[in-house]
Amino acid sequence: MTHPAPTASTDVAIIGAGSAGMAAYRAALRHTERVVLIESHVYGTTCARVGCMPSKLLIAAAEAAHSARQAHRFGVNVPPIDIDGRAVMARVRSERDRFVGFVVDTVEQWPVADRWLGHARFVDTHTLVVDGLAGPRRLQAERIVIATGSRPAVPPAWRAALGERLIVNDDVFDWTDLPGSVAVVGTGVVGLELAQALHRLGVRVRLFGRGSRIGPLTHPALQALAREVFAAELPLTLNVRDLKPRREGDAVVLRTELADGTVQEERFDFLLAATGRRPNVDRLGLEHTALPLDPQGVPVFDRRTGQVGDSAVFMAGDAADDRALLHEAADEGRIAGDNAGRWPAVRLRPRRAPLAVVFSEPQMALVGATHAELVASGTAFETGEVSFADQGRSRVMARNHGALQVYAQRGSGRLLGAEMLGPAAEHLGHLLAWSVQRGDTVQQMLDSPFYHPVVEEGLRTALRDAQRALQLPAPAPEHCLECNA
């Protein structure tokens, strides 16, 4: 005889305790004390455990090794570099665990009754069954926030063929030592960052891509420059038409057929699949609800409110398959949690200017509207550009690679967006994002102070180029002839 699952009730149920779920919990509590936060695995966000923080720890080690190797360019000679893989990974894991600990400590300070551990699935639009260690429990919730995050998307055939020799980025940060060789498949942000970092740490790496793109830049000229810059350092195989991995003992043999028909084979210790991520919505039982779904099975929602259709269900974070970035997930969590708490009095919330950064070297940044988005929308705009090849401060640091493009609206001169490959993109990206969000014009930006000598003077050069394209009156010249700033 089976017994029905015990039933509880709450005003707001939040599925997922990552960055979005935690933000949603705090926001919902401002309106009601009856909030339940459900987590199916362990506390600690994707960012802290397997994303932003451990990847930057690995990149920091790689940058230290690269800087030492390049010191001779400044007349500084150092002994041959000796990379202790165990020490590298020990620091990555130790600092990673520290960041995760902060998150776990925060969640565990919240009331025990508010925290449910187990996998949640919908029975209907207002009822969840949560399968925990003590068995299933039913939860009746007036409003629900889906913040279940995402996971790496890996071809099942690869897993079957390679077993533990197939890894994803999550696995890298549990290594106790660096491997001898890794094939990285996928030239997006994750693949590029990890491939370059491992390469600089002495691992034999090759980065494979099905197309010719490197990273998220959308302007063809910037993409071509990215291919040139990264190919000069990192072994690349692009335009792969067919890719077939197989296992031979403890090795992965990767057979690739290129667009021109060339066939290549190479052996590696591991294959790192950086082939994208998929939202964790496929095991939620959404078929038992009346929620509108897109062709991929993700609930259709309004990103200004988080609301799915006209229901009392809201979306936030990577599960929403929108902008998979921590600050966006936190914003979406606040919006969804606030509106779930105050439902049915749902409010529209303005979103911040888009900002994305790639921590490769050189770095990349995309701000506001991209070139591809502006072209697709038919927006009338002009482009201003600067190359960092001869930019003063960039040459001083021997980091003079890349270019910056700024996009300004015709007529108003307002900055619409920018794309960058170059030094200090993580910092310039913030300045540009603030200007986009404020609605600054090119002239207003040029009227702002620029110190000398700094990389930001390159931004000024790009803005002046945009000013000429917009046919705006030029200000009095402020030019350093000695350093091309």
* Tens-place pLDDT, residues 1-34: 344 566 899 999 999 999 999 999 999 999 999 9
Alpha-carbon distance of 408 to 48, in angstroms, equals 36
36, β-bridge pairs: 13
- How far apart are the C-alpha atoms of 320 and 328, rounded to whole Å? 11
**Architecture (CATH level 2) of domain 156-275:** 3-Layer(bba) Sandwich (3.50)
Q: Rounded CA gap, 463 and 485, in Å?
A: 12
CA distance 348 to 305: 5
| Residue 271 CB neighbour total at 10 angstroms | 23
CATH 3.40.50.800 given to domain 7-40+118-152+278-342: no
Tens digits of residue pLDDT in 220-239: 999 999 999 999 999 999 99
Type of residue at 79: P
19-29 vs 326-342: helix axis angle to the nearest 10? 30
Domains in the chain: boundaries: 7-40+118-152+278-342, 156-275, 355-470
pLDDT at 324: 79
pLDDT of residue 479: 58
How does strand 127-132 pair with strand 135-146?
antiparallel
> What's at 91, amino acid-wise?
R
Q: According to the model, what pLDDT value does residue 1 have?
A: 39
How far apart CA 165 and CA 158 sit, in angstroms, is 10
Whole-prediction pTM value?
0.93
* C-alpha dihedral (301, 307, 308, 313), degrees to nearest 10: 140
Q: How far apart are CA 52 and CA 451, in angstroms?
A: 31
Helix (H, G, I), strand (E, B) or coil at 422: strand
Task: Indicate if 355-470 has the same CATH topology as 7-40+118-152+278-342.
Answer: no
- Beta carbons of 404 and 418 less than 8 angstroms apart: yes
Cβ-based neighbours of 342, under 8 Å, separated by 6 or more: 31
Architecture of the structural domain at 355-470: 2-Layer Sandwich (3.30)
Instruction: Give pLDDT, residue 45.
Output: 83
Q: If you count DSSP H runs as helices and E runs as strands, how many of each does the chain have, helices first?
A: 14, 22
Average pLDDT across each block of 10 residues of the chain; the chain has 485 residues. List them in order: 69 96 97 96 85 94 96 94 97 94 92 95 96 91 97 94 95 97 97 98 97 97 98 96 95 94 95 95 95 95 96 95 86 97 95 96 98 98 97 95 98 97 97 98 97 96 97 63 56
